[in-house]
Amino acid sequence: MKTRKFTVSQISKAVLFLGLLIFSVGQPGVCLATEVNLDCDIQSGGCSKQINGRTVDLNIFPKPVKAMKDLTFQVKISGDSLSKPPFIDLGMPGMKMGPNQVILKRNDADIYEGQGVIVRCKSGRTIWQATVTLPGVGSVVFTFNVIN
């Protein structure tokens, strides 16, 4: 059996590299490798998804949807009424970010609206996700591009 000898310098570099790798993966705002499927063209209009017999429509105003602008998020729910209002969590695919939640209030029988801001990512990425949660029912995720 052949043994391999490593210098103190080589071991130090390996430990430093592994430490930085472990530290950076758990930090907010650090990009992680992920494959992204854009399923919502929010710049052209609203998007719809199904969940447990309900249709969830998401729209964002004004258009074009831009980062760092005050935006109105509108969610329309078709189907049985909800016991609590839905809410939206905004984030970027493959990134650990701080909370960015849009609280929605009933505007009409089945339409909820709230105000929020999509922040500009310092990496230059423009793909965002809006996770719409219907309490007691579940969540749907809309993935879309914003304009920096």
Give the right CATH number for 47-145 from 2.60.40.1930, 3.30.465.10, 3.30.70.260, 2.60.34.10: 2.60.40.1930
**pLDDT over 80 (residue 107):** yes
| Structural domain boundaries in the chain | 47-145
Q: Which amino acid is at 21?
A: L
Q: Exposed, middle or buried by CB within 10 Å (0-12, 13-18, 19+), for 97?
A: middle
For range 84-106, the mean pLDDT: 93
Per cent of the chain over pLDDT 90 is 61
pLDDT attached to residue 1: 58
For range 18-42, the mean pLDDT: 57
pLDDT attached to residue 77: 95
How sure is the predictor about 4, in pLDDT bands with cuts at 50, 70 and 90?
Answer: low
* Residue 41 structure tokens: 């063209």
Of 7-11, 79-83, 103-107, 136-140, where does mean pLDDT reach its minimum?
7-11
3-state secondary structure of 116: strand
Of 10-14, 59-63, 103-107, where does mean pLDDT reach its minimum?
10-14
